[in-house]
Structure 1
Amino acid sequence: MAVDLSLFNNSVSTLLDHLTRHYGEDAKLETYVICARVRSATIPGGNGINWIVNPGGEELAGGLLREVLKAVEGNGDLS
């Protein structure tokens, strides 16, 4: 599988820019999850998901993903 790494590099740079612009120096990155959906005729069902969680972030990943889903479904409104 060929992947254009510039897509990931740009996304990570955008995230880091956002974090440094909106949070103070005392803020600490608690956890992160990177996930992707891959489509291929060789995958059962035609697609699959893959993800990674930062080392030690496994316990927090589920809560993070639930908050992301809530924000996406609510168009950014977390209330």
Structure 2
Amino acid sequence: MAAHADRQPVLLTLSQEAANAATVRFVADGADLPALAGVERLVLMFDGHDQDQLEAARAQWKRLKSDGHELTYWQQTEDRRWQKKA
């Protein structure tokens, strides 16, 4: 897949590997965090109304924070806008 990275601006995969040399990675629904080598931005997406996903996101936040990463937290408001919370 790396041979076609220029034709894959968005690649959906279950792999932990950044097959298209992505520097921005999205992780959804409590999936395991990928290796962060070469990652410039990691976006964790989860359903804040799902207790299991919320607990997984909190655990991921604590791990990333303890590893020294700079973190921000955004929450969707009632009017569907995003508000920075932390």
Q: Which TM-score bucket, shorter chain as reference?
A: under 0.3
* TM score, norm. by length of structure 1: 0.27
Higher helix share: 1
> RCO greater where, 1 or 2, for CA within 8 Å and sep 6 or more?
1
